[in-house]
């Protein structure tokens, strides 16, 4: 029996790992305009809001220029049955710098094909990462919702 795989996505940007990490923490410039808190260092807490949906995070691990982990501490995914589906999941960012570029390997641990929001959330994450975060880092302008 095949085990479910966590959603993951990789992108390469034209910036150092340090600069990339800084841009990831600027959540309101690439993901959610409606953002409260801080998302830059260990134990920072922040929230994103999309209408009736919200997600609360705590930064649970930081390795400068290498890795950052966002732990979902609470959520309300208003459009699905289990509105707390993301609670306890983790967004893990691994950064690898080489030749002036950085590869960002993103994984949403716990967002697997067997959960209700997988299809919509996979589409959402891909759009935000490719269509907004990558543009913020490479071109200086993201497209937050």
The model's pLDDT over 4-17, given as tens digits with 9 standing for 90+, comes to 799 999 999 999 99
> What's the mean pLDDT when you consider all of the chain?
96
The model's pLDDT over 17-66, given as tens digits with 9 standing for 90+, comes to 999 999 999 999 999 999 999 999 999 999 999 999 999 999 999 999 99
Tell me phi and psi for residue 65, to 5 degrees: 65, 10
Beta bridge partners of 69: 61, 92
Whole-structure pTM over 0.75, yes or no? yes
Domains and CATH numbers, the chain: 7-139 (3.30.530.20)
Classify residue 83 as left (phi > 0), alpha (psi -120 to 50) or beta: alpha
* 3 pLDDT higher than 70: no
Residue 107, helix vs strand vs coil:
strand
Residue 120, helix vs strand vs coil:
helix
Q: Is residue 1 very low, low, confident or very high in pLDDT (cuts 50, 70, 90)?
A: very low
Identify each DSSP E strand in 51-114 by its residue range.
53-63, 67-76, 90-98, 101-109
């Amino acid at each position: 029996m095949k085990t479910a795989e966590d959603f993951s996505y990789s992108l390469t940007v034209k910036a150092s790992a340090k600069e990339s990490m800084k841009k990831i923490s600027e959540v309101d410039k690439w993901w959610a305009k409606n953002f409260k808190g801080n998302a830059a260092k260990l134990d920072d807490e922040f929230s994103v809001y999309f209408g009736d949906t919200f997600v609360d995070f705590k930064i649970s691990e930081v390795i400068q220029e290498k890795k950052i982990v966002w732990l979902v501490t609470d959520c309300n995914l208003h459009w699905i049955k289990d509105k707390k589906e993301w609670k306890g999941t983790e967004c893990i960012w691994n950064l690898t710098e080489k030749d002036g570029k950085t590869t960002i390997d993103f994984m949403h641990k716990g967002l697997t094909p067997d959960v209700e929001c997988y299809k919509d959330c996979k589409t959402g994450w891909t759009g935000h990462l490719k269509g907004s975060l990558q543009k913020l880092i490479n071109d200086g302008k993201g497209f937050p919702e």
